[in-house]
């Protein structure tokens, strides 16, 4: 009987090729988000088509859909990247060791405004917020994931003030965190709706709100 032929061992991919593919995909995804960001600011979120993004990024429309199967997924990827870019601003407030809890929370709320300053930016964020809310169809979905990093920073601040004795340990931290985030979300909607409002105006408002909210839990 003829001995069975040995199978040739698979040729291993060079290590650099294995690492290169994810980096190329990450860069392509980032380039698509860059193109979307430019178009959102120029045309608005609703008016921007996936075909427009493909043209701006100089790729096929199929490539855009390979990375973002729906416009909803593109929206939340855009919002997630915004959170990542603001992470350093959040940490700067936490690391600043502001002694007054109300002041620290107010500054954290303003850090979340990022670079939203112009009428064009405010208009874009009104549209993005409306689209995000319309896409929010479950208690815990991408919208909740988008909110979580900022909520976590609020909770960290509150717990640090509890640990230092500047806030009562009777304070229900998860509940307080949700209330602060809700106040902040309403403030940001107001900020985007009124062109004349500035970040300084909103800081003064947030400071008053936090002072009132935390008053029962001061030592």
Joined tokens for residue 127: 């549209």
Tell me, yes or no, whether 60 and 84 share the same domain. no
Give the Cα separation of 90 and 171 in Å (integer): 22
Tell me, yes or no, whether 99 and 46 share the same domain. no
Report how many domains make up the chain.
2
Tell me, yes or no, whether 40 and 89 share the same domain. no
Query: What CATH number is associated with residue 64?
Result: 1.10.10.60
Query: What CATH number is associated with residue 198?
Result: 1.10.357.10
Helix spans in the chain (H)? 15-43, 50-57, 61-67, 71-95, 101-111, 119-135, 142-163, 173-193, 199-214
Tell me, yes or no, whether 205 and 144 share the same domain. yes
219 residues of the chain, pLDDT tens digit each? 444 444 455 555 555 555 777 888 889 999 999 999 899 888 888 899 999 999 999 999 999 999 999 988 888 888 888 888 899 999 999 999 899 999 999 999 999 998 888 888 898 888 888 887 776 555 445 556 667 889 999 999 999 999 999 999 999 999 999 999 999 999 999 999 999 999 999 999 999 999 999 999 998
Give the Cα separation of 76 and 140 in Å (integer): 14
Crossing angle (nearest 10°) for helices 71-95 and 119-135: 120
Tell me, yes or no, whether 161 and 185 share the same domain. yes
Tell me, yes or no, whether 61 and 92 share the same domain. no
Range of the domain at 136: 70-217
User: How many CB atoms are closer than 10 A to CB 156?
Assistant: 16
Is 158 among the domain residues?
A: yes
Q: How far apart are the first and last CA of the chain?
A: 91
Is 3 among the domain residues?
A: no
Tell me, yes or no, whether 47 and 106 share the same domain. no
Task: Look at phi and psi of residue 68 and say left if phi exceeds 0, alpha if psi is from -120 to 50, else beta.
Answer: beta
């Amino acid at each position: 009987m003829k001995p069975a032929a040995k199978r040739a061992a698979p040729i291993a991919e060079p290590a650099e090729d294995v690492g290169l593919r994810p980096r190329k995909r990450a860069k392509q995804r980032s380039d698509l988000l860059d193109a979307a960001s430019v178009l959102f600011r120029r045309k608005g979120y609703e008016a921007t088509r996936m075909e427009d993004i493909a043209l701006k990024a100089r790729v096929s429309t199929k490539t855009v859909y390979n990375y973002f199967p729906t416009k909803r997924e593109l929206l939340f990827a855009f919002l997630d990247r915004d959170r990542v870019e603001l992470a350093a601003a959040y940490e700067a407030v936490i690391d600043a060791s502001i002694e007054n809890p109300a002041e620290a929370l107010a500054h954290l709320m303003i850090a979340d405004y990022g670079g939203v300053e112009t009428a064009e930016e405010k208009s874009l964020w009104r549209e993005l917020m409306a689209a995000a809310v319309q896409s929010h169809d479950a208690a815990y979905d991408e919208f909740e994931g988008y909110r979580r990093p900022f909520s976590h920073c609020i909770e960290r601040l509150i717990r640090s003030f509890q640990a230092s004795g500047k806030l009562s340990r009777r304070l229900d931290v998860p509940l307080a965190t949700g209330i602060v985030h809700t106040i902040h979300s309403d403030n940001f909607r107001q900020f985007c709706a009124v062109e004349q409002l500035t970040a300084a105006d909103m800081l003064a408002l947030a400071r008053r709100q936090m002072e009132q909210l935390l008053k029962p839990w001061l030592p």
